[in-house]
């Protein structure tokens, strides 16, 4: 007569080794096997409100922890109400400022264990449609590098969806915000160039619905008016290289062929276009005959062919601040809206004359 | 005696108007009210396998359709097994090729009703860790602009997760792929410059783990060897502007101060750095003393200060092909791996001499 030995129970260690050997993902069936319960019991343990005994629940949780079991993300997000996704709404990536911002935002959001769900806008007018799409995804929060209406900001509140507005700061809007003071940046750049003796200004502005460029333009215009200088010639652009070239030609045409002393561009991409057109198409020497300056300090602004006079936005610091602010909002959504404002940094570069010409110095 | 009139039933139209007036989202409670059933009955209708009568199911579905009811996305994704998210794995966005590719991919994926969940790599060696993170999200498919190992490709198969490899094509790997033939591109560029009489070449290669640049380099080297020209001096770079500057200096140092006839750069960002260093730091005139050419045709390659001789990858066509191929795989995952290869387009530009110098023409 042979003694029949019972099959030894499957230990946690054995089972983990088997999963590792098969190079596969831990499933609810593995948890069931180790806990000695049915798969449906495991499933019930991870479903809120489902009926399960305390003893079963304890065994399942112990086995799940031991196996590093992660329930299917969608199932988990129903339970925790966390998807570990942050929606980033960002304008057309062709303006080089945005890829740099997106890269930093992705890194900072990633550091906090979350991933970016990307919503790109071809133009700001698409925002309403994009928001309707955002609501369909269960994101934990939203970073919007776009100008929202007060009604859109309120809609986030109604949905209790944390929102950080990035690189935009519409006057009087009570939203959590990380931005630079573009109005002050515009004032500062105009003041600096006026102090160097420039009197006739042109401005290549951004698109009508873009508050970043319009704040910069408003700051520059008010500063020039306060200094008693003539109102600048203002033309519109679309933030791209071609707009800078066209803008310069239009400003000269509006002045009946005369070249202003300085041109301020709403973005560095336009500054580069303006500069290339001046030097390579119109034969205007910069900065001797014309000063050209911009905003953003995107990477090419620093290349030897350009070396722009510009104002740098601290993108890295701003991205870190946005991710941190959003994290705080996700943990506690109460309290007043917070605005984190950064000062842009002046880059002297070599495309604008920054000291008064000798004749003015003598006259002073 | 007063007659008590029954409250009129809430019509679909009334209810829709009320929701619109309150500017709120349609919930399962609204559906329940219109269908005349309990909320839990609605909930059961949207849960696979839950018990519900056919009559109730029909009433709920009719009310849900009438109200444009969308169940919570996470709940819905449990039902449909579709999250409407596509993971895009992409290298550091600092190389300008990638923002352009990402922008196009986001647009093409968006056209198909899905959104991009972004996974950025600082370097390719992070890929394994990033994939472990990708598995945690219930994405419908993955577009990977990174070099995967055969084991990693196989893991997608095991998980039945559709994968399209973008802009990489490791030899012999059976993965669905959209790419340019970088080897042929390298051969073509070397052949074109050799035909114009260049004999001494330098190459600024990419990083060791990057197959795009290594295929370009391999093609160029094999072409030059077949033509009986000397082996080029090869130095490594990191695809960025600084690498182009350093690379040029290193090639000249390795030649004991002599300048080669032509330098081929693994990316246009490096070509621009090389060109700026030649012109602005070393006083070498391009293309008179040195021809410089690259790959990618990123936007700045076209700026007046550069006007690069380069090979354009048709990013827009490639992004559309990748999104389409992925969509097909999501609908039917069977069948052999498909490779969609595009030919790069030669851009003459002005940084390389493309006709033989007079002396060579006489000798021929």
Judge whether A1 lies within some domain.
no
Q: How far is A74 from chain B (nearest CA, A)?
A: 5
Helix (H) or strand (E) holding B117: strand B115-121
Judge whether B328 lies within some domain.
yes
What values do phi and psi take at B344, rounded to 5?
A: -70, 155
Of A8, A13, A10, residue with least CA distance to A66: A13
Judge whether A262 lies within some domain.
yes
B95 has a pLDDT exceeding 80: no
pLDDT for B30 equals 84
Q: Are residues B144 and B272 in the same domain?
A: no
Judge whether B4 lies within some domain.
no
Q: What number of other Cβ atoms are within 10 A of residue B167's Cβ? A: 26
B contacts of A99 (beta carbons < 8 Å) = 93, 96, 98-99, 102
The mean pLDDT of chain B is 87
Judge whether A4 lies within some domain.
no
Q: Which two tokens stand for residue A230?
A: 């003539």
Q: Are residues A358 and A230 in the same domain?
A: yes
Q: Are residues A262 and A125 in the same domain?
A: no
Judge whether B1 lies within some domain.
no
A contacts of B133 (beta carbons < 8 Å) = 115
Question: Would you say A123 and A92 are in contact if contact means Cβ atoms under 8 Å apart?
Answer: yes
ipTM entry: 0.75
Q: How far is A303 from chain B (nearest CA, A)?
A: 8
Of B169, B173, B174, residue with least CA distance to B184: B169
Question: Which residue from A minimizes the CA distance to B240?
Answer: A299
Residue keyed to tokens 């070498």: B284
Of the residues A50, A78, A106, the one at which a domain ends: A78
CA distances for B242 relative to A219, B248, B273, angstroms: 35, 10, 6
pLDDT for B186 equals 95
The string of pLDDT tens digits covering residues B312-363 is 989 999 999 999 999 999 887 677 889 999 989 999 999 999 999 876 544 4
Mean pLDDT of B25-32: 80
Q: Are residues A110 and A259 in the same domain?
A: no
Q: Is B29 on the interface with A (CB under 8 A)?
A: no
Q: Are residues A211 and A355 in the same domain?
A: yes
B7 has a pLDDT exceeding 60: no
B8 has a pLDDT exceeding 70: no
Strands B345-347 and B309-312: antiparallel
CATH number, position B97: 3.40.50.2300
End-to-end CA distance of chain B: 119
pLDDT for A88 equals 96
Q: Are residues B356 and B225 in the same domain?
A: yes
Transcribe B221-251 into DSSP letters. Answer: HHHHHHTTPPPPEEEE--SSHHHHHHHHHHH
Domain around A165:
85-180+315-342
CA distances for A344 relative to A76, A212, B182, B239, B284, angstroms: 42, 13, 42, 28, 36
pLDDT for B279 equals 97
**Quick check: helix, strand or coil at residue A27?**
coil
A contacts of B155 (beta carbons < 8 Å) = 23
B6 has a pLDDT exceeding 80: no
Of the residues A47, A62, A78, the one at which a domain ends: A78
Residue keyed to tokens 């003015």: A360
Q: Are residues B106 and B117 in the same domain?
A: yes
Q: Which two tokens stand for residue A86?
A: 């942050």
pLDDT for B5 equals 52
Question: Would you say A164 and A142 are in contact if contact means Cβ atoms under 8 Å apart?
Answer: yes
Strand order in the sheet with B309-312: B233-236, B201-205, B262-265, B291-296, B309-312, B345-347
Question: Would you say A213 and A274 are in contact if contact means Cβ atoms under 8 Å apart?
Answer: no
CB contact (8 A) between residue B118 and residue A118: yes
Q: Are residues A358 and A242 in the same domain?
A: yes
CATH number, position A67: 1.10.260.40
Q: What is the pLDDT along chain A (364 residues), one digit of tens a residue?
A: 455 554 445 677 777 777 777 666 677 888 888 888 888 888 777 665 567 788 888 888 888 878 877 666 555 555 556 789 999 999 866 677 888 889 899 999 999 989 999 998 887 788 988 998 898 888 999 999 998 999 999 999 888 899 999 998 877 888 999 999 999 999 999 999 999 999 999 999 988 877 888 899 999 999 999 999 999 999 999 989 999 999 999 999 999 999 999 999 999 999 999 999 999 999 999 999 999 999 999 889 999 999 999 999 899 999 999 999 999 998 876 778 899 999 899 999 999 999 998 765 444 4
pLDDT for B362 equals 46
Judge whether B120 lies within some domain.
yes
Q: Are residues A245 and A217 in the same domain?
A: yes
Strands B141-145 and B85-91: parallel
CB contact (8 A) between residue B70 and residue A94: no
Length of chain A: 364
Question: Would you say A274 and A304 are in contact if contact means Cβ atoms under 8 Å apart?
Answer: no
Question: B 313-352 residues with CB below 8 A of A?
Answer: none
Q: Are residues A208 and A251 in the same domain?
A: yes
B77, B84, B118 ranked by CB distance to A116: nearest:
B118
Of the residues A43, A78, A113, the one at which a domain ends: A78
pLDDT for A6 equals 47
Of A116, A55, A50, A105, residue with least CA distance to A83: A116
Residues 6+ apart with CB under 8 A from A252: A258, A259, A282
pLDDT for B93 equals 63
Least confident of A89-93, A331-335, B150-154, B231-235: A331-335
Task: Quote the CA–CA distance of B205 and B203 in Å, as a whole number.
Answer: 6
pTM score of the predicted model: 0.77
**Quick check: helix, strand or coil at residue B211?**
helix
The string of pLDDT tens digits covering residues B35-83 is 889 888 887 776 645 677 888 888 888 888 788 776 665 555 555 567 8
Domain total for chain B?
3
Of B155, B158, B164, B157, residue with least CA distance to B89: B164
In the structure, what pLDDT confidence band is assigned to residue B231 with cuts at 50, 70 and 90?
very high
Residue keyed to tokens 């640049």: B213
Task: Quote the CA–CA distance of B36 and B10 in Å, as a whole number.
Answer: 9
Question: Would you say B134 and B142 are in contact if contact means Cβ atoms under 8 Å apart?
Answer: yes
Q: Are residues B127 and B202 in the same domain?
A: no
Question: Which residue from B minimizes the CA distance to A110?
Answer: B119
Judge whether B3 lies within some domain.
no
What values do phi and psi take at B90, rounded to 5?
A: -145, 150
Q: Are residues A307 and A251 in the same domain?
A: yes
- What letter would DSSP give residue B126? G
Residues 6+ apart with CB under 8 A from B68: B26
């Amino acid at each position: 007569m042979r003694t029949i030995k019972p099959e030894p129970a499957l230990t946690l260690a054995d089972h983990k080794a088997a999963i590792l050997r098969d190079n596969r993902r831990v499933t609810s069936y593995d948890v069931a096997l180790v806990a000695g319960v049915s798969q449906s019991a495991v499933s019930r343990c991870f479903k809120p409100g489902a009926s399960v005994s305390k003893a079963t629940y304890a065994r399942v949780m112990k086995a799940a922890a031991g196996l590093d079991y992660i329930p299917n993300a969608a199932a988990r997000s129903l339970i925790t109400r966390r998807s570990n996704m942050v929606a980033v709404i960002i304008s057309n990536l062709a303006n080089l400022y945005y890829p740099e911002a997106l890269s930093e935002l992705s890194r900072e959001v990633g550091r906090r264990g979350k991933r970016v769900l990307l919503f790109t806008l071809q133009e700001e007018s698409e925002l309403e449609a994009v928001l309707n799409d955002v609501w369909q995804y269960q994101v934990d929060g939203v970073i919007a590098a776009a100008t929202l209406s007060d009604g859109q900001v309120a809609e986030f509140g109604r949905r209790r969806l944390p929102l950080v507005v990035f690189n935009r700061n519409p006057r009087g809007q009570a939203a959590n915000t990380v931005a630079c003071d573009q109005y002050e940046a515009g004032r500062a750049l105009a003041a600096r160039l006026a102090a160097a003796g420039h009197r006739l200004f042109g401005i290549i502005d951004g698109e009508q619905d873009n508050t970043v460029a319009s704040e910069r333009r408003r700051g520059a215009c008010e500063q020039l008016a306060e200094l008693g200088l003539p109102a600048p010639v203002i033309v519109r652009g679309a933030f791209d290289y071609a707009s800078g070239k066209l803008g310069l030609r239009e400003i000269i045409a509006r002045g009946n062929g005369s070249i202003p002393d300085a041109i301020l561009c709403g973005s560095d991409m336009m500054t580069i276009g303006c500069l290339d057109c001046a030097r390579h198409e119109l034969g205007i020497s910069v900065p001797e005959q014309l000063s050209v300056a911009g905003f953003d300090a995107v990477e090419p602004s620093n290349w030897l062919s350009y070396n722009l006079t510009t104002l740098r936005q601290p993108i890295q610091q701003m991205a870190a601040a946005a991710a941190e602010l959003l994290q705080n909002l996700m943990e506690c959504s109460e309290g007043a809206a917070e605005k984190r404002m950064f000062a842009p940094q002046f880059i002297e570069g070599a495309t604008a004359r920054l000291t008064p010409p000798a004749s003015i110095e003598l006259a002073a």
